[in-house]
Structure 1
Amino acid sequence: MNSFTKEERLCNIKLIEKLYHNGSSFLVYPFRIIWISAEVDSDIPVQVLISVPKKRFKRAVDRNLLKRRIREIYRLHKSEDLFPFLNERSEKIILGINYIGNEIAEYASMEKKFNNALLRLKKNISEQSC
């Protein structure tokens, strides 16, 4: 279950545009979380897009390091926090994770902030579905 398969990655351009134009968002520094409920055909309840801006991190090495860290944190925490919550509600979402920090954060601090972001995401989903 601790994998990050192709089906979990958001690649569809129409869905990405829908996410950025119609999605709800919130900030938990250094992350901006954008999400929208969607009717996705797969069995997986979440499709994820992870982005790090070229404007803030000019070197591809730095962008790739941050994306790798975010993917790893997501991969480790999705099965215990996010998937059971969405499966019990039989809800499917599209999720965008944007890194908005100005410097490369430590893994431990990123993990703590990402957990806070997941809690807030679950709160927002439960408020919207009620």
Structure 2
Amino acid sequence: MRLTYPKNEKLKSKTLIDDLFTQGKSVSAYPLRLVYLSTSFKDNVKAKTGVSVSKRNFKTAVARNRIKRLMREAYRLNKPNIFNNLTTPHAFMILYIGKDKPDYALIDKKMKQLFDKFSNKNEA
């Protein structure tokens, strides 16, 4: 598995995002929260993922974009751990719900915990 995050793996469909937040389930590893939904895609990908940071907690776009960049990088590097256990296609939205600016080490550690919780919940 290549450690990339190509365009076809990005969650961009408005209807799919709406379905994700209405029908999806979630797991948390503070300051991250993962909302997921088992679905199917026209293009043959295992998962589509989006990241989001609240404008309420981070007023400047610079701060929001930095956190989103850190989250995408942690996701990209941990992708093999996630996809090796994934059997059905899923839509993911990773939300940053903390109030302070994180560093990469914290985001990476919490991303691993988040997807461990997700895989444990899906096995049960």
TM range (shorter): over 0.9
**Between 64-73 and 25-34, the greater mean CA deviation after superposition:** 25-34
Q: In the TM superposition, what is the alpha-carbon distance from 1:105 to its structure 2 partner?
A: 1.0
Q: Could you tell me which amino acid in structure 1 is paired with residue 85 of structure 2?
A: F
2:114 maps to which residue?
117
Q: CA deviation at 1:42?
A: 2.2
Q: TM-score, normalised by structure 1?
A: 0.91
Q: Deviation at 1:3? A: 0.9
Give SS of 1:55's match.
coil
Q: Secondary structure at the match of 2:59?
A: coil
- Structure 1 partner of 2:84: 84
Cα deviation code 1:46-85 (max 9, x no counterpart): 1001000101000000000000000000000102x11111
Instruction: Tell me which protein shows more helix as a share of its residues.
Output: 1
Equivalent AA in structure 2 for residue 82 of structure 1? I
Task: Report the TM-score, using the length of structure 2 for normalisation.
Answer: 0.95
- Alignment RMSD (CA, Å): 0.8
> Are 1:106 and 2:107 matched, yes or no?
no
Unpaired segments ≥5 residues, structure 2: none
Shift of residue 40, structure 1, vs aligned partner? 1.4
**Which residue identity does 2:8 align to in structure 1?**
E
Q: Once the two structures are aligned, what percentage of the paired residues are identical? A: 32
Matched, 1:55 2:56: yes
**Matched residue SS, 2:112:** helix
Which runs of 4 or more aligned residues in structure 1 lie more than 4 Å from their structure 2 counterparts after TM superposition?
Answer: none
Asked if 1:28 corresponds to 2:25, the answer is no
Query: How far apart, in 1, do the equivalents of 2:43 and 2:25 lie?
Result: 22
